[in-house]
Amino acid sequence: MEIEQLAAQNPWWSDRDMIKRDDKVKKVLETGEKIQFNLGSENQVLIGPRQLGKTTALKYDIYKKINTENIDPSAIMYYSFDTVRDFEVINDVLNTFVADENKKYVYLDEVSFVDGWQRAVKQFLDMGKAKNVTLYVTGSSSINLRKELMPGRKIRFLEFLPLSFRDFLLSFGSKALKRFIKSNRTEDFKTALKIAARSLTYSDEINKWFDVYIKTGGYPDAIFDYLGKGRISDDVYDVHWNAFISDVSKDNKSVEIATAIIYGMVGSYSSKINLSSIARMQGIKSHVTVREYLEAFDDLFVSKSVFPVAGKKYVFRKERKVYFNDPFLYNLFSKKTNLPDKSRESKIVEGVLFNHLYRFVNKDKTIAEPKTSVGFYSGKREVDFVIGDFGFEVKWQNEVSKTDFPSIELKDKVLLSKKTLKTENTNGVVILPLALFLSAL
């Protein structure tokens, strides 16, 4: 590859101020750098949903290196592989730019659908001149990660996810609320319950922002669009829908079948689903196809399946629940499937709770590490979510009491409401407003 081809994607080589004119960087600066992107100094692969801001994170990191750390712009290289499918191009890019052992920073964007991309990166890391290179790689799918996680190489595989509600508050909350959150770190659920109770002083502000969060989720473009217009425009929804369709197609899946399954997921959201019933209702040949697509949605960071627990074991053959990975995705898919629902808010917040519980118990794990599962109790005494000795039940109403938690043997019972707070642990039940609890996770 000619160096001139690389220069087209790296205009700061000829003019260091060009990074300030990059559309992604300009957007961050125009919005007051509300959302912080901190990549760290180690080799890393960042895998997360499309249209979330991975490219923005890379470009903003380049901006900081040039303008804050005063690193020579010619030592920084960015290359997008969004339309590339040949892994040899990765080899060409790396070998053309890294021609010596001088310190360099390399950003490879959207490589996950390049077949064999891990092989190219692994070969590069095995070269002597790679020791002075900090490598940042991004992708939108974890589908190919199972093939090669590069054991023995100094590179971490991390998830790049939508903002949690806590991070949302750290980006948009008042200075006083940010100080409170930063000074109260949560290590476990018991600590989180205590911090949530102490945050009552800020409940009005937290609830105000939670009303926004269940509409926008943790997607920056949806957040800024809503804050600027009081609504999320059709253009934003269309961008994310098209990204979903594109990723489904890149995974060699049928767009028609994927859309039909999304329709079934929205229609039965927060309830147990039967794969055979979805297949029948949506005209899909087999429940096996439905399961395969749900697994693909997991790989594409669209949704996760939650399985019932019996005797502290997860029962994978019984009916499951499926939650979208962010409230914005529920709003997106319900809009595109045109399925209105009067109880949608209660369903959305249940999904928000699941995602925060799952992320909290797996917060320090890389993609390669086994994940702690979140289950639910099924039958006459259902509990929304169970993790070890903890049970979490959502009642999305202002007033609740301990009797709203199912009578069941669990050591720690947490009942989450709109406004009720009772921390005296009556009969093993702690009652907290959901927004306060999520702000502590």
Q: Tally Cβ neighbours within 10 Å of residue 428.
A: 14
Cα 226-228-234 angle, rounded to 5 deg: 50
What CA–CA distance (Å, rounded) separates 302 from 324? Answer: 6
> Tens of pLDDT along the chain (441 residues)?
778 889 999 999 999 999 999 999 999 999 999 998 889 889 999 999 989 999 999 999 999 999 999 999 999 999 999 888 888 999 999 999 998 889 999 999 988 878 888 888 888 998 888 899 999 999 887 665 555 566 567 888 889 999 999 999 999 999 999 999 999 999 899 999 999 999 999 999 999 999 999 999 999 999 999 999 999 999 999 999 999 999 999 889 999 999 999 999 999 999 999 999 999 989 999 999 999 999 999 999 999 999 999 877 888 888 999 999 999 999 999 999 998 776 789 999 999 999 999 999 999 887 778 899 999 998 778 999 999 999 999 999 999 999 999 888 889 999 999 998 887 666 689 999 999 999 999
pLDDT at position 202 is: 98
Amino acid at 352: V
Q: Give the length of the chain.
A: 441
Do 283 and 259 contact (CB within 8 A), yes or no? no
Q: Of 144, 106, 147, which is closest to residue 125 (Cα–Cα)?
A: 106
Cα 363-366-108 angle, rounded to 5 deg: 120
pLDDT at position 170 is: 97
Residue bearing tokens 């800024």 = 224
pLDDT at position 426 is: 60
Pairing of strands 412-417, 429-433: parallel
> Model pTM greater than 0.75?
yes
Do 360 and 392 contact (CB within 8 A), yes or no? no
Domains in the chain, please, with CATH?
3-159 (3.40.50.300), 168-440 (no CATH)
* 197-234 residues labelled b (16+ CB within 10 A) or e (exposed): bebeebbebbbebbeebbbbbbbbbbbbbbeeeeebee
